[in-house]
Amino acid sequence: MDFNTIVKELAKEMKTFTETKYRDIQIKGIAYDSRKVREGYLFIAIKGVQADGHRFIDEAIRQGATVIIGENDISLADIPYIKVENARRALAILSDRFYHSPSMNKFIIGITGTNGKTTTSYLLKHVLEQADVSCTMIGSIQNSVNGKVYPSMNTTPGPLELNQLLYESRDEVVIMEVSSHALKQCRVDGILFDVALFTNLSHDHLDYHASMEEYFNVKKLLFDKLKTDGKAVVNSDDSYGEQLLEILFEKGVASFTVGKTKRSDIRFTSLNESQQRMKLYDGGNFFEVDTKMPGTHNFYNMAMAYITAKIVGVPPETIAAALASFTGLPGRFQQIKSGGVTCVIDYAHTPDAVFHCLQAVRQAGAGRLNHIFGWRGGRDETKRSEMLSISAEISDNYTLTLDDLNGVAQEKMISDLNKLQSEYGMSNGTIIPDRTIAIMNAIEHAAPGDWIVITGKGNEEYQQNFYLDSKSDEETVTYCFNNLVIEGEEE
């Protein structure tokens, strides 16, 4: 990519201000972290939450940057500086062009919504691979490309990393979780989608978005990025899904709906009280599916995976069989059992997700239900009281504990827990700040038939030290099952 091309590409997409005397500069790479700049690189200065990239322009030049892009008024003596109105968008546009617009040669599926993105992604990947369709998957647990697995730092990577993954992918289909942060920060700008899914929208991220209205407006941006013949899949039982469908109808976007009502294109009903068997209606056809992942919320996820796989071209019978063979995924209603006691580890961190998770456990026939959960420091505090009320109502006992502190003092978090318990809690609740001790205490006092539900972390590793030297909820539960005697068991 040369300098003249950069100017032209940015001018097509956004307002830019620059001199045009540097036409012969060749760009060997792009970086927005000055530490990753190499000789001949383009450096883009991003104003982040923690740091302003404009402060590192001199360092980038020392590292070998030959072109700088930023938002501030800056004059550089020896190399060109391009001022843009939105450096994040410039990064996305140029990342796409640098990697030769890789989304144009791929069948790309984007999934957005508050809850269900990860489960739907894994379900869809399982179904497609059962039909011998190779998949790249990009999401919150891991990134999988060409059969190789890489750790995931964000639900949706930054545009430079994302376009590189798409460029390197030789898989037939790309399944991508698209977060509201990614949409607002222009991470997927320049990428065009063949199918876009909307799972649901409920209270979350209001520390980042000013209101639910803004949250919705950001989420629906994904559907502006559909290819000309792109299709939408929408949960029509969700009130925001209904609003989205009206917008898509006005734009003439081909849309498919899933839900419990007869007006849905793909409809489902439950066949038993435990919510582990569903009937899926597709026009005049129907399929009965036994699932390893109970709960109505998972029926929605399966219905969305079904219609999306059908759009890809997988036969309905193959899809139904694949859904039935799906065994689950890490940290999403993950069950570990011992001595008649069932522990469920789930990522649920919103009021809606906590409700559906606990409700699914009740419907599965739990004896006593003990819920262990907490909140991350520095995140949306407005949802805490609602989550506490839901837990107190559905569970027999609940324990408030610590999640990631995120720079908030532990004493402050414990004080917040005590305040919430005092204002909104009930007599069936207690506070045990150390997460591993809370889990150990629950398992130690559990009896056969009891269920212990641990929400908030899912598959994620702990960010601070606890009493037990374990790295995750799964490790803690496994240790306790191996080393503690459960009430009612023979020693």
Strand, coil or helix: what is 68? Answer: strand
**Domain residue ranges in the chain:** 3-98, 102-325, 334-483
Whether 272 has a binding-site annotation, put simply, is no
Whether 257 has a binding-site annotation, put simply, is no
Whether 308 has a binding-site annotation, put simply, is no
Mean pLDDT of the chain: 91
Residue-level pLDDT at 377: 85
**Average confidence (pLDDT) over 413-438:** 89
Residue-level pLDDT at 113: 95
16 CA to centre of own chain? 33
Whether 441 has a binding-site annotation, put simply, is no
**Average confidence (pLDDT) over 18-42:** 86
Judge whether residue 18 has pLDDT over 90. Answer: no
313: left (phi over 0), alpha (psi -120 to 50) or beta: left
Query: Which token pair is 254?
Result: 């081909």
269: left (phi over 0), alpha (psi -120 to 50) or beta: beta
Residue-level pLDDT at 489: 54
pLDDT-wise least confident of 15-19, 29-33, 410-414: 15-19
pLDDT-wise least confident of 205-209, 245-249, 378-382, 474-478: 205-209
Band (17; pLDDT cuts 50, 70, 90): low
Query: Which token pair is 454?
Result: 């641990």
Could you say which DSSP state residue 326 is in?
A: -
Residue-level pLDDT at 490: 46
Whether 97 has a binding-site annotation, put simply, is no
Q: What is the pLDDT of residues 88-101, one digit of tens each?
A: 999 999 999 999 99
Q: What is the pLDDT of residues 210-225, one digit of tens each?
A: 688 999 999 999 999 9
Residue with token string 């144009």: 104
Residue-level pLDDT at 491: 44
**Average confidence (pLDDT) over 71-94:** 92
Residue-level pLDDT at 141: 93
Classified by CATH at the fold level, domain 3-98 comes out as 3.40.1390
pTM, to two decimals: 0.89
Band (367; pLDDT cuts 50, 70, 90): confident
CA distance 2 to 352: 49
Band (364; pLDDT cuts 50, 70, 90): confident
CATH homologous superfamily for the domain 334-483:
Mur ligase, C-terminal domain (3.90.190.20)
Sheet holding 451-455, edge to edge: 334-338, 341-346, 451-455, 369-373, 397-400, 429-431
Q: What pairing do the DSSP bridges indicate for beta strands 334-338 and 285-290? A: unpaired
Whether 155 has a binding-site annotation, put simply, is yes
Residue-level pLDDT at 284: 86
Give 370 or 407, the one with higher predicted confidence. Answer: 370
**Average confidence (pLDDT) over 237-247:** 96
Whether 154 has a binding-site annotation, put simply, is yes
Residue positions counted in the chain: 491
Cβ atoms within 10 Å of 51's Cβ, excluding its own: 11
Residue-level pLDDT at 270: 84
CA distance 420 to 415: 9
The packing angle between helices 87-98 and 159-168, to 10°, is 10
Expressed in percent and rounded to 5, the helix, strand and coil fractions of the chain are: 35, 25, 40
Q: What is the pLDDT of residues 52-67, one digit of tens each?
A: 999 999 999 999 999 9
Cβ atoms within 10 Å of 242's Cβ, excluding its own: 14
268 CA to centre of own chain? 24
Whether 179 has a binding-site annotation, put simply, is yes
Phi, psi of 135 (to 5 degrees): -130, 135
Q: What is the pLDDT of residues 174-184, one digit of tens each?
A: 999 999 999 99
- Kindly indicate whether the domain formed by 102-325 is annotated with CATH number 3.30.1050.10: no
Q: What's the number of CA atoms in the CB half-sphere (13 Å) around residue 220?
A: 17
Judge whether residue 393 has pLDDT over 90. Answer: yes
Whether 118 has a binding-site annotation, put simply, is yes
Whether 113 has a binding-site annotation, put simply, is yes
Strand, coil or helix: what is 13? Answer: helix
Judge whether residue 15 has pLDDT over 90. Answer: no
Whether 117 has a binding-site annotation, put simply, is yes
Query: Which token pair is 122?
Result: 């894994």
Residue-level pLDDT at 24: 76
Task: Tell me the one-letter amino acid at 256.
Answer: F
Whether 115 has a binding-site annotation, put simply, is yes
